[in-house]
Structure 1
């Protein structure tokens, strides 16, 4: 890669959160060419220390008063309401913002990017100085869908998700831990309820984000509109999203209908050749990947590929991915790497 001499000045917004900490780790792990990395968070976190790589510690600075002048790239994950204010402020100062919140995803002037799927869309950052990172459940699905769409033409997608508590932040993970421990100690689950409307320990909740007028939840709506913005507006998408009692890793069962004839063998070959996809598909015990096994991994793992005989040109598969890495931080850093390589120094 031809990078700017001396490297880039990078700000990580929301550095004390789950995704922020993951962003710092991945920047160091992948050797991102940064001459300086600044950790930003709310006033209450100022002065806290966060790790950057194995041997560096950064002191958190206040996002609200930070001067973005001279900052090249901001990797932002502070929550949608904060991002709505701070991302445009950073962009106005000449900083390119890669935003991991939901606020800008459907803005027609903001590209929504998964580098393995639509890296060319990054060019649109010049309109507002902002690039949006898709929803975690959308990212892993479109990484698997892209090569299938290119080879067979997607007509319809039906997906059911099984999403970990980390998708709702650290407090949600704590709630799962505390409820689980409390149940073993004969404590009511409501003694440890903060994030979820019903018991999450030893349970499954068919409800992520707010309900919309048509009965879908906003998470289901996101998967629909984001997939079509990233891949193809003609694809029909129906999503069913549930929260399960796991800490890290989202799982999805995906059922597709295609324009061209498709079968498990040909789909498996296409997926094996796809960037970002790892096919682990053996029809035997342990011949698939589960959410617990994908934690800390970069790939989208695809298993259980099989024909769907109920429709013409039908196929189903199971996919899992670390929602904090590929579903958030890693995708953000990959966007930044592509931005630097193809645009900032072009």
Structure 2
């Protein structure tokens, strides 16, 4: 009986030992379906990533996109909605160990290439949102219908009203950032001796999300006044609709107030097609006044980098347009950015000036061209 009990005990220990050895968990034996580390994707296009087992044994999965867990399945479908550089980290694991893989996926900005039929002129007006002004609500100078006439032409004209009023347009292709000036924008300035400029700031944007709409980040093309202390960044002004042919009151974020003078009281200067018929606010970079009222009223041009400005640095006298280099682009913090192409252009009135009998300073736009297309 004692011997038998001893044998039974030995058998039980052996069974437990070999059973544990047989069932002991080992680290996952797997690999990635795509083994490269660096990949190139496309906006709104799928990239299928997955892990497979080399020995048929399953294990757990974790996918992280830019540090955030996005899947615990064996696969992950990556569909970027905007351009950029993305980091995707995979981990396959069980209680005994893990294996990992990191992908760096570069998604370039979508580019619409130039073809033999591409036009150098504006192909689409996306938005016309003028500030109050003497020409606003005038069918031939300050209406949405007039703004549409800038398509395919440099011979029509639209007013942007006072500070902040803007127009957004694009071409039938992406404008390439090449050496030197890339864009020409036509205005209506006068040169010496009766110089009268109505300077507008130009901004550009890329269609990073590929939806064909100007809803991505905007970058200012920094002109000659950008770094000067007389220029006010992050300026904001609000105009109040008088709902009559009367002066249009305004206040700004610098503690100032005033009116857009409507002494003739012909029509309401507040844009009657604006979505908000009570008040409207504009933000941007405010350029200093260059108004001179001693004698004949003049408003001097800046050296370069602004539209509707008879600039010597632009040689406006010869070219009859203001030229712009995409390489001048800066972000909201004033940091230079490198843009290989742009898809949208925004022009807005950049001075808040009452020119007396000549009315408010309001940038005029007659059209634009891609200087890279001859």
TM range (shorter): under 0.3
With the length of structure 2 as denominator, give the TM-score of the two structures: 0.21
Larger radius of gyration: 2
Bigger RCO (CA 8 Å, 6+ sep): 2
Considering fraction of residues, name the structure with more strand.
2
Considering fraction of residues, name the structure with more helix.
1
